[in-house]
Amino acid sequence: MNNSKQEFIQFAISANVIRFGEFVTKAGRLSPYFFNAGLFNDGHNLGRIAHFYAQTLLDSGVAFDMLFGPAYKGITLASATAVALAAQGRNVPFAYNRKEAKDHGEGGQIVGAALTGRVVIVDDVISAGTSVRESVELIRAAGATPAAVLIALDRMERSGKDDALSELSAVQEVSKNYHIPVIAIADLNDLFATLSAADAAADLAKYKGKVADYHQRYGI
């Protein structure tokens, strides 16, 4: 795990964005950890997460012209990432969607810059891939090209129900279905490495076994 990934995981834990315990996922699974990007809810933490998004995107080498944030969490993440990119000398436009098209004022479903060129979709995690599908459809309908999906954490977890688990994770399915890369700041391996580190706090290290068991059951 490189220093940037380790720094991100430790930051997310300290900000209580990665929490440990028992949480029911969208798939109905009982997970020993949960990632909630909605808790990057003050200026300092939002600025830090935006820096990680921006640096990860630049380091990926993906060519892009603008950012797109799916409603709702992606709106804040994409706009903050645009600010962080500008601070690093890469000023790009961004846009986001409404859940329902507006029939007055400027109207329409897209807010912000017009969707053009190569567009990176910015979101927190990929669960069922629904927001990615909707975003890809909006981008292509505007004549632009989806270039990549940028997320905070790849759970590396097989999609589907327990009685019909896919061989692919939700992230892998998105990449396969839309022929675009999915770029993650960090993934479950990085989280596990943090829990396994020799200097890991006892209250964190105790979750290592539960996370390993969960990955053994559902992971790719």
Give the residue numbers marked as catalytic.
102, 104
Secondary structure of residue 99 in the 3-state scheme: strand
Chain position carrying tokens 């992971």: 219
Rounded CA-CA distance 89/175 in Å is 29
- The pair of three-digit structure tokens given for residue 133, joined into one six-digit string: 């599908």
Number of other CB atoms surrounding residue 48 within 10 Å: 18
Contact 219, 158 (CB under 8 A): yes
Rounded CA-CA distance 17/151 in Å is 14
